[in-house]
Structure 1
Amino acid sequence: MSLFDVLGSKPRLRIIQELTTEPRYVSELAERVGMDGKSAVHHLNVLEEAGIVDSYRTSRRKYYRLRRTVEFSASPPPSRSFCLYTGDTIEPTETETETLSAN
């Protein structure tokens, strides 16, 4: 699936928007974007396969967070520029690193 296909979904864009503030677990994320858990998991899997989000566990909860910076810009003539940029991987926070090490 192309990056355009991944980002062309309104539910996935809402998920990305929610994850810009902080990592969230599936049921919390599903509630915040207004979808059922099964749909949220599907969209999160697509985002994870595209390398936009990743996940980590704390006890029984699986949290998702943004992994990449995604930037899109387009401008009309005369410059006629079009750019879809994905940035480097964001390093886990110290707390997330400790959690990942413990698992």
Structure 2
Amino acid sequence: MVMSVDADMLKVLADPLRMRIAQLLAREALCVCHLVEETGAKQTNLSNHLKVLREAGLVDTEPCGRFLYYRLKADVVGSLAASLGRLAEAAAQTASSDRKRPCS
């Protein structure tokens, strides 16, 4: 069984503010002004984190008048979750068996 978990994606989400942004965007599309209100972070700090999330492919943008709304990409998060699920399943199978590699 080949398991692949996107380590770079995990690094992106490991930052507490980026994870908080992802959690907020999972509920609704928000612009930076909403994220400032919700997180208390500075606009420039949020913009930098949103850039990282966009470059990682986790967030889409949608222009709305003079504002730019951000939305979490469910398919990307779902793919990461599925990868982690397969990893957990493999670990559970190993834990329930006495499978171990012999030392030489």
Smaller-chain TM-score bracket: 0.5 to 0.7
Greater relative CO (CA pairs within 8 A, separation 6+): 2
TM-score scaled by structure 1? 0.67
TM-score scaled by structure 2? 0.67
Q: Does 1:59 align with 2:68?
A: no
Give the corresponding residue for 1:38: 44
CA shift in 2, pair 1:3/1:80, >3 Å: farther
Task: Give distance in 2, aligned partners of 1:78 and 1:60.
Answer: 50
1:1-80 matches, within 5 Å, as 2-69=8-75, 70=77, 71=81, 72-73=84-85, 75=88, 78-79=92-93
How many corresponding residue pairs? Answer: 81
**Higher strand proportion:** 1
For the aligned residue pairs, the C-alpha RMSD in angstroms reads 2.3
| Alpha-carbon displacement from aligned partner over 1:60-96 (angstroms, at most 9, x marks no partner) | 1110001234224464954359xxxxxxxxxxxxxxx
Q: How far off is 1:20 after superposition? A: 1.0
**Higher helix proportion:** 2
Query: What secondary structure, in the 3-state scheme, does the structure 1 residue paired with 2:52 have?
Result: helix
Larger Rg over CA atoms:
2
Runs (5+) with no aligned partner, structure 1: 82-103
